[in-house]
Amino acid sequence: MKRELGIARCGLACCLCSENKHCNGCALGECPDKDWCENLKCSMEKGLAHCYECQEDCRKGLLLRLKPYGFTLFAKRYGEEELLNCLERNEKNGIAYHCEGIVGDYDHFDNVEKLIAFIKEGKR
């Protein structure tokens, strides 16, 4: 885990991304998707560092997907530091952010509350 990369604006975990050897994430303006990322543009227009800082319950861009939406809701409720703590603990316990390509253990949920519970508890 590269904790210093933290959480992307949209909620994805740059700190655990398999691409973080070559990418420093959107926080440093180096995201490879910066030209088209709706969440990056929106949060910058609002002067926010992350979507979880916004008061809206937004489902734009990557927030249409359950994982980034769930991570964003988790950070809204418990804070980014707690999200990072849980992700780090879960990684040490064998929970993979990416297993096959960009799909991992956090991608197999159809309910955001179940995903949030999985992040918090580290077990299904």
Please write the tens of the pLDDT for every residue from 60-104. Answer: 999 999 999 999 999 999 999 999 999 999 999 999 998 877 789
- pTM reported for the whole predicted model: 0.90
Which residues have a Cβ under 8 Å from the Cβ of 2 and sit 6 or more positions away?
14, 15, 16, 20
pLDDT of 19 strictly over 80: no
Report pLDDT for 34: 74
| Integer angstrom CA distances of residue 95 from 15, 69, 100 | 14, 19, 13
CA 111 to mean position of chain CA atoms: 16
